[in-house]
Amino acid sequence: MTPSPRLSVLDLVPVRTGQTSAGAFAASVRLAQLADRLGFTRYWFAEHHNMPSVASTTPPVLVASIAARTERIRVGSGGVMLPNHAPLVVAEQFAALEALAPGRIDLGIGRAPGSDPVITQLLRVSGPTAEVDRFPDHIADILSLLSPDGASLRLTSGREYAISATPAATDVPTLWLLGSSDYSAKLAAELGLPYVFANHFSGEGLERALELYRTEYRPSEAHPAPETFLTVNASVAPSADEARARALPQLHSMARLRTGRPMRQLETVEEAAAAPADSVGDDIIAAMEKRWIIADPASAAAELRTLAARHGIDEIMLAPIGGSYDSEPTDTTPGREQTLELLAGELPVA
């Protein structure tokens, strides 16, 4: 049998009809604690802004909350969108997180804005730290600032000025570079950093990105060999029919995003089932379904094993997208919890 990959979780903290942000956060805490008990490897939060269906606006805050409520699982960002933030702020936040949960913190960094142009401008009002073309320099700055030795600036007076993300650091979070393009793969290879392909969002160019990363990888002291995994959307239920019914709210939301339509809170399963047919949206949904894992437990596990073997990876990060029925409590996400539980029963995740 094909070896089973390790499993991890990517959480966007989805918000459904009738659910408050408090309910969405409570549901994510429960999901993270479940992943911890089941033996999943890591639990990451994405950064998105001004989206009615996504509450994960501040990964460092969420990471701190989940790290305090779990025992062993690694917790991190998937990712912090660096152009929105000053490198020193990111370094300080994750250095503090590493001190709070030693050996359990991942700092995943991306280059995309995570929102629309208006919000991007508001996030980047601080000025030149948001220059996207300086992304490689800012990654290097964060690596230096996080190191126990810190970094230094040469002032106009000629004096050296020492800077450290946190005093007396004994360890640093693991920095991962995230992306869905040749650019991110090549930069991760050049810097000798672990790399994650955002397959849950795009899926296009996966093979080429992984090949570039592996063939151009330059070993670093912290990472002598390339290390990579990919993300995938997943809805797993006792039957394939239920898995698709629970996946449909997220499929509809992604179709609206890709066609430039107004975003809203995620539909419930009943609302998604009652939605009128849409030829353009249905075509997009059919294409997405081919790349997502929407199946019963045995079939989903087989798909994940095949995916891992095809791309030569030993870890897959699931974005559990199972929606909720009207009757299900708004401080839980039974569809997402079910996905993790059923896969853990088929794949040895610990």
Strands 160-163 and 151-154 come out as antiparallel
Q: Is 18 left (phi over 0), alpha (psi -120 to 50) or beta?
A: left
Q: What is the mean pLDDT of residues 38-56?
A: 95
Q: What is the mean pLDDT of residues 181-197?
A: 95
Q: Is residue 140 part of a domain?
A: yes
Q: Is residue 342 part of a domain?
A: yes
Strands 174-179 and 228-236 come out as unpaired
The backbone torsions φ and ψ at residue 38, rounded to the nearest 5 degrees and listed phi first, read -80, -15
**166-170, 242-246, 321-325, 343-347: range with lowest mean pLDDT:** 166-170
Residue with tokens 């990919």: 230
- In CATH, what number is assigned to the domain containing residue 198? 3.20.20.30
pLDDT in tens, 263-296: 899 999 999 999 987 876 888 899 999 999 999 9
pTM of the model: 0.93
Kindly state the percentage of the chain with pLDDT values over 90.
Answer: 72
Torsional sign, CA 7, 12, 17, 22: positive
Give the angle subtended at the CA of 201 by the CAs of 104 and 133, to the nearest 5°. Answer: 80
Q: Is residue 49 part of a domain?
A: yes
Look at residue 161 in the predicted model and tell me its pLDDT: 85
Residue 278 DSSP label = -
- Which helix H or strand E contains 110, and what residues bound it? strand 105-110
Look at residue 349 in the predicted model and tell me its pLDDT: 66
Q: Is residue 1 part of a domain?
A: no
The backbone torsions φ and ψ at residue 167, rounded to the nearest 5 degrees and listed phi first, read -75, 150
**What confidence tier does 324 reach under pLDDT thresholds 50, 70, 90?**
very high
Look at residue 1 in the predicted model and tell me its pLDDT: 58
Q: Are 43 and 74 in contact (CB under 8 A)?
A: yes
Q: Are 79 and 44 in contact (CB under 8 A)?
A: yes
Q: Is residue 176 part of a domain?
A: yes
What is the C-alpha separation between 224 and 227, in angstroms, rounded? 9
Q: Is residue 332 part of a domain?
A: yes
Instruction: Give the domain range for residue 85.
Output: 6-346
| Structural domains counted in the chain | 1
Largest CA distance in the chain: 70
